[in-house]
A = this chain, B = another copy of it.
Amino acid sequence: MAVYTEVTDEELSAFIATYEIGRVLSFKGIAEGVENTNYFLHTSAGAYIVTLYEKRVRADDLPFFLGLMEHLARAGLPCPQPVRNRQGDASARLAGRPAAVIEFLEGLSLRRPTARHCHAVGAALARLHLAGRDFPILRPNALSLSGWPDLFAAAERDGDRVAPGLVERTRRELDEVTRLWPRGLPSGVIHADLFTDNVLFIGDQVSGLIDFYFACMDAFAYDLAICLNAWCFEPDYSFNITKGRALLKGYLNVRPLSGGERTALPMLARGAALRFLLTRAYD
């Protein structure tokens, strides 16, 4: 939630001059994004987000992330579209960082989504899975099952300071999830981080799917499990079954689940919970 990299006037002018987006009217750092630095840019041609990629996003991965956003936007998904510069590149360098200019999407991220919002996000997720199927670049999931033991090892030492007994419970869960992890499920491009802060709404309609910087190839049903975890639990940790059903129904209206996917869903949800517990403990 911070501006990690400051941009000088000269750097901004030189950077914007390489794009065909008119002249700068406003440029303000946004207190959003845990990973990257984001600026709100208003020019005579429109409104944009300028993202400076900090150390966690590898420049090598940008063609995948930015290409995917273009691909999904072309397929009609409400994804912010990267703007290419005069050289035709979707990313360049600004203030010593890889950076991109991305179309600004209106909408609000919701802290307390209703069942109606869950239905809409389920449908949007399924559309994303269908639209990603002919995207040609591959990116394995660096934070899938095979990456969890290292995260666990790194977080093990201080884990019990988060909650007593957490390390032992997590170790047992990791063992069991590893042993029983579903394999061979329908896979393709997944968002992998579709929490409430990465979906914008205007009223009940999804107006934006954002922050594709964990997107990768993995099981579609795993992405659905991440969403169920992120959208359908109440602040007291109880599962809201109305929201869960609405999210699933929204998804199934667009993309039916196979029998194997349905059976796998509870274990995938346990794995998803474990993945975010481990990365947050690590951070």
**Chain A residues proximal to chain B, CB less than 8 Å:** 1-3, 8-10, 12, 24-32, 40, 42, 104, 106-108, 110-112, 200, 202
CB distance from A250 to the nearest CB of B (A): 20
CB distance from A103 to the nearest CB of B (A): 13
| Complex contacts, A40 vs chain B, CB 8 Å | 28, 30, 40
Contact in complex: A26, B112 (CB < 8 Å): no
Contact in complex: A9, B42 (CB < 8 Å): no
Contact in complex: A25, B106 (CB < 8 Å): yes
Contact in complex: A31, B2 (CB < 8 Å): yes
With known contacts A1-B3, A3-B1, A8-B111, A106–B28 Cβ distance under 8 A: no
| Complex contacts, A202 vs chain B, CB 8 Å | 25
Q: Kindly identify which residue among B2, B8, B32 contacts A28, using a CB–CB cutoff of 8 Å.
A: B32
Contact in complex: A29, B26 (CB < 8 Å): no
Contact in complex: A9, B112 (CB < 8 Å): yes
Contact in complex: B9, A111 (CB < 8 Å): yes
Q: Kindly identify which residue among B9, B10, B112 contacts A10, using a CB–CB cutoff of 8 Å.
A: B112
The CA-CA distance from A24 to B106 in the complex, in Å, is 9
CB distance from A24 to the nearest CB of B (A): 6
| Complex contacts, A25 vs chain B, CB 8 Å | 106-107, 202
With known contacts A25-B106, A26-B108, A107-B26, A31–B3 Cβ distance under 8 A: yes
Contact in complex: A26, B106 (CB < 8 Å): yes
Contact in complex: A29, B30 (CB < 8 Å): yes
The CA-CA distance from A8 to B9 in the complex, in Å, is 34
- Chain B's closest residue to A208 (CB) is B26
| Complex contacts, A1 vs chain B, CB 8 Å | 2-3, 29
Contact in complex: A8, B106 (CB < 8 Å): no
Q: Kindly identify which residue among B3, B9, B108, B112 contacts A27, using a CB–CB cutoff of 8 Å.
A: B108
20 A-B residue contacts at CB 8 Å? Answer: A1-B2, A1-B3, A1-B29, A2-B2, A8-B112, A9-B108, A9-B111, A9-B112, A12-B108, A24-B108, A25-B107, A25-B202, A26-B104, A26-B200, A27-B108, A28-B32, A29-B30, A29-B31, A40-B40, A42-B106
